[in-house]
Amino acid sequence: MQQTNVQYGPYLQLDAILNAQHPESDKHGMPAHDEMLFIVIHQAYELWFKQLLFEVESVADIMSKPAVNDNSPELQTVVHRLNRSVTILKLLVQQIDIMETMTPMDFLDFRDMLRPASGFQSWQFKTLEARLGLQYENRFGQEYYISQLTPDKIEIIRRAEREPSVLKLLNDWLERMPFFEEPDNWSDYQPSTNAATDGGSLWFNDYRNIYMSGLADAEQANRAYFDKVFGEGEGAGHLSPRASRAALFIMLYRGYPLLQLPFQLLNSLLEIDEQLSTWRYRHMSMVQRVIGTRIGTGGSTGRDYLKGALDKHYIFADIARLTSFLIERRKLPALSQAMGRRLGFR
């Protein structure tokens, strides 16, 4: 391969990037110093959204394979790229600190010149939410959702909504976990309660008995909720009962070598939800501080819309709620010897 003479500036397209800031206040002959900061921060956000989409798409590609070895470089790659996404999201939260150096009066110097431009028109962020698993029917403010986007950007988002999301692929991956479907792994299991039935379901019924016996009087509603989440019906969210049982098992026995990467995967998805929530909260607080109760430049309800999205747009809530069904480590049923060997070092 012939060596090319790559130069820093052209390689990074710096001429295009550094000449892509054109303040509206300058065009109106009323220069507003802080508009440059406003533009640069939002351009940086969009670049990071592009990188997040790149990472999430690669994760979805790997997890969409018919089989993913749970002790393989593929799963390590998934965890690594999800953790990178978490780190990027933490940076996006920190960028709000820079934005908050702009006072309300600084923003008013150019705010009205921006209408109807709005962060609500960020099609990349909406696409990212869809690829992770935020479904249209679970969105807050559906009437605003794509109202200000061009048809080509709407199609990009719609296409993302039609593709299997990370949440859907996670459910499929968890359902393939063979924890309870291979009776040989449970042939020597010794239940600690009077649990009935055979195989992996014997372990699960044993666990259910231990969990139920530890509920306080005020927690009795958790009995029916436990059975709805893990029973044989439709489940209680986006994870099927079978997937929920597998995820619970991973959380409980994450100390076993074979379960450490699967646990890290689940934990990284919870971190993504946490950072997205933190970003929404910081964004909402900043908007309230800067414009109070006024509507957004794009016509949304401003702070109220952001509050609604903060409360509703949790993507991996089904994983988070599993902590409601954990028990103390000292009460955890001992696995069968066959299952212990399968999950340990060989």
Binding residues for substrate: 38-42, 111, 297
Rounded distance between C-alpha atoms, residue 98 and residue 94, angstroms: 8
Q: What is the DSSP string of 304-323?
A: HHHHHHHHH--SSHHHHGGG
Q: Which residues are annotated as a binding site for heme?
A: 283
Residues 118, 159, 267, 83: what is their CA dihedral angle, to the nearest 10 degrees?
-70
Q: Which of 266, 287, 322 lies closest to 70 in space, CA to CA? A: 266
Q: Which residues are annotated as a binding site?
A: 38-42, 111, 283, 297
Those residues whose C-beta lies under 8 Å from the C-beta of residue 136, and which sit 6 or more positions away, are: 142, 145, 161
Rounded distance between C-alpha atoms, residue 256 and residue 340, angstroms: 8
**φ, ψ for residue 278 (rounded to 5)?**
-65, -40
Those residues whose C-beta lies under 8 Å from the C-beta of residue 232, and which sit 6 or more positions away, are: 241
Residue 116: asked if its preceding bond is cis (omega within 30°), the reply is yes
Those residues whose C-beta lies under 8 Å from the C-beta of residue 1, and which sit 6 or more positions away, are: none
Q: Which of 156, 214, 163, 206 lies closest to 186 in space, CA to CA? A: 206
CB 331 within 8 Å of CB 214? yes
Most distant CA pair in the chain: distance in Å?
Answer: 82
Q: What is the DSSP string of 219-255?
A: GTHHHHHHHHHHSSSS-SSSS-HHHHHHHHHHHHTTT
Rounded distance between C-alpha atoms, residue 230 and residue 236, angstroms: 9
Angle CA 210–213–219, to nearest 5? 120
Rounded distance between C-alpha atoms, residue 123 and residue 51, angstroms: 14
Tokens at 236, concatenated: 């209680």
